[in-house]
Amino acid sequence: RFRVQQPDIFSEVSKASGKTGAVTHSYWSEFFRSCPFDLIEDMEFDEPGGSITHGRFHTMTGYNARNQMTPSDVDLFATLTMLTRRHGIDYGILHTCTLDSMGHRFGHDCHEMD
């Protein structure tokens, strides 16, 4: 993976004195914050001077067909809502892996995806 070098939505919002938040898979942290992702330092952070000012990330380490390691969508939505209320986020992103994981497991044209 790599850190994005051109201007992005997070850095532009931060440059305009806005606050950003991300509740996503760890590769978003690598793209917009630092690469490689450090499980200890990068899992949760609040850094007013960064492009992503408030981040909560997950890795899905151990993912396979039998154990999807997918965080609950409810937990992810609640986490972004908490960050928004607590820190007054102006731009936030939430990325779940649920549909991707279900598609890999069951195929995309199946009743589980409905």
Cα–Cα distance between 3 and 14 in angstroms, integer? 17
For 92, the domain range is 9-113
**Report field, pTM of the whole predicted structure over 0.85:** no
At 68 the pLDDT is: 67
- Domain count for the chain: 1
- Give domain status of residue 34, yes or no: yes
- Average pLDDT score over residue span 16-34: 94
pLDDT at 67: 67
Residue 62 burial (C-beta neighbours within 10 Å; 0-12, 13-18, 19+): exposed
Q: Residue 2 falls within a domain, yes or no?
A: no
29 inside domain: yes
4 within domain boundaries: no
Lowest mean pLDDT among 19-28, 56-65, 80-89: 56-65
Query: What pLDDT, on a 0 to 100 scale, did the predictor assign at position 43?
Result: 94
- More confident of the two residues 89 and 68: 89
